[in-house]
Structure 1
Amino acid sequence: MIEETIFYSRLKQEIKKSRKSTNQIERELGYSRNALHNYKNGTEPSGNRLIEIAEYFHVSPKFLIGKTDFSSENSPVILFDQLSDIQKYEMLKLCHTWSENLIKNVQLPDR
């Protein structure tokens, strides 16, 4: 029995999230029938196909092949980590001000 690859596992996850059938996605991408299902046997996609699939699902190719656990290259965690301490502090102040304003403007239902 062939062990499922990270690529195929993440591909299935993205297909499920899309709420489309595998065959529908294959048609939209212009692939032959069962092209995506055939990755179940452990083969990896070509570079071009990997990019096409990643772009279709709006995820990074690195995510699909297991090089990162973040589905997007622009993950908020990654972007936040790239900020300086001063920038992080400014962002914290903005979030605090935003949340205070939100709380002030929330209309609570009458009980």
Structure 2
Amino acid sequence: MARESLFYHRLRKQIESKNKNFNQIEKELGYPRNSLNNYKTGVEPSGLRLVELSEYFEVSPSYLIGKREAVESEISEKNFHSLNFEQKMELYEICQSWAATQISKSNETNNK
């Protein structure tokens, strides 16, 4: 059995992280059935497909093709940097509220 390519391995991990299968992703992105399976033995994706997949999974193209080791939330970071100061403060307040709720829930669970 041929060893799967790094791109395919990382693609498979991203698909599994969404609790989906290859056919579901192909259908959602409008790809022909089994088209993602072509990457299993080393066929490289086109630039367009690489960008589409990286945007879908919110990882960098560099991560998918093996140029970077860690998954990065580049899209989230870019979105954050595009916010103005007031929007960042609103997001900060939302995060504080969420964290307080989570801590409270955790304390309630631990006290039972």
Q: 1:72 to 1:33 in 2, by over 3 A?
A: same
- Name the structure 1 match of 2:91: none
Q: 1:28 to 1:68 in 2, by over 3 A?
A: same
Kept in 2: contact 1:50–1:61 (CA 8 A): yes
SS of corresponding position for 1:27: helix
For residues 5-38 of structure 1, what are the alpha-carbon distances to aligned partners after superposition, in whole Å with 9 as ceiling and x for unaligned? Answer: 1101100100100101211110000000001111
Gaps of 5+ in 2: 75-95
For residues 29-87 of structure 1, what are the alpha-carbon distances to aligned partners after superposition, in whole Å with 9 as ceiling and x for unaligned? Answer: 0000001111112101000100000001010000000000121254xxxxxxxxxxxxx
Q: 1:110 to 1:64 in 2, by over 3 A?
A: closer
- Name the structure 1 match of 2:25: 25
The share of aligned pairs that are identical, in percent, is 48
SS of corresponding position for 1:59: coil
Kept in 2: contact 1:2–1:42 (CA 8 A): no
Residue correspondences, number: 83
Name the structure with the higher helix share: 2
Q: Where does 1:1-111 land on structure 2 (aligned, <5 Å)?
A: 1-72=1-72, 74=74
- Of the two, which has the highest radius of gyration? 1
- For normalisation by structure 1, the TM-score amounts to 0.64
Separation of aligned partners in 2, 1:110 and 1:27:
46
Kept in 2: contact 1:15–1:21 (CA 8 A): yes
Quote the RMSD (CA, aligned, Å). 2.4
Gaps of 5+ in 1: 75-97
